[in-house]
Amino acid sequence: MADTEKKSLFSAVQPSGAVTIGNYIGAIRNFAKLQDEFNCIYAVADLHAITVRQEAAVLRRNTLELMALFIACGIDPAKSVLFVQSHVPAHCELTWVLNTIAYPGELSRMTQFKDKSARHADNVNMGLMDYPVLMASDILLYQAALVPVGADQKQHLELTRDLAIRFNNRYGQTFTVPDGYILKDSGARVMSLADPSKKMSKSDENPNGFVTMGDDKDTVIRKFKRAVTDSDADIRYDPEHKPGISNLLTIYHAFTGKSIPEAEAEFAGKGYGEFKIAVGEAVADALAPIQAEKARLLADKAYLGEVMKKGAEQAFRISRKTLSKVYRKVGFLAGE
State yes or no: residue 294 binds ligand TYM (CB under 6 A): no
- What letter does residue 95 receive in the DSSP assignment? H
Please list, in sequence order, all residues whose beta carbon lies within 8 angstroms of the beta carbon of residue 128, skipping any fewer than 6 positions away: 51, 52, 113, 116, 117, 120
State yes or no: residue 251 binds ligand TYM (CB under 6 A): no
- The answer to whether 190 touches 25, Cβ cutoff 8 Å, is yes
Site residues (CB under 6 A) for ligand TYM, limited to 46-65? 48
Shortest approach of ligand TYM to residue 2 CB, angstroms?
25
Q: Would you say 243 is a known binding-site residue?
A: no
- The answer to whether 69 touches 287, Cβ cutoff 8 Å, is no
Contact stretch for ligand TYM (CB under 6 A) within 98-106, 144-152, 238-246, 249-257: 144-152
Contact stretch for ligand TYM (CB under 6 A) within 8-16, 234-242, 258-266, 282-290: 8-16
Shortest approach of ligand TYM to residue 231 CB, angstroms?
25
Secondary structure class of 19 (helix, strand, coil): coil
Strand order in the sheet with 8-13: 81-84, 39-44, 8-13, 146-148, 179-181
Shortest approach of ligand TYM to residue 310 CB, angstroms?
20
Q: Cα(245)–Cα(228) distance, rounded to whole angstroms?
A: 8
State yes or no: residue 252 binds ligand TYM (CB under 6 A): no
State yes or no: residue 319 binds ligand TYM (CB under 6 A): no
Q: How many residues bind ligand TYM (CB under 6 A)?
A: 25
Buried b (16+ CB within 10 A) or exposed e, 288-318: eebbebbeebbeeeeebeebbeebbebbeeb
Site residues (CB under 6 A) for ligand TYM, limited to 170-209? 188-190, 199-200
Catalytic residues: 116, 199, 202
Nearer to ligand TYM among residue 201 and residue 256 (C-beta): 201
Please list, in sequence order, all residues whose beta carbon lies within 8 angstroms of the beta carbon of residue 270, skipping any fewer than 6 positions away: 235
Contact stretch for ligand TYM (CB under 6 A) within 56-64, 133-141, 169-177, 312-320: 133-141
DSSP 147-192: EE--GGGHHHHHHHHHHHHHHHHHH-S-S---EEE--SSGGGSPBP
State yes or no: residue 243 binds ligand TYM (CB under 6 A): no
Binding residues for ATP: 14-16, 22-23, 150-152, 190, 199-203
Interface positions with ligand TYM (CB under 6 A) = 10-14, 22-23, 25-27, 45, 48, 135, 138-139, 147, 149-150, 152-153, 188-190, 199-200
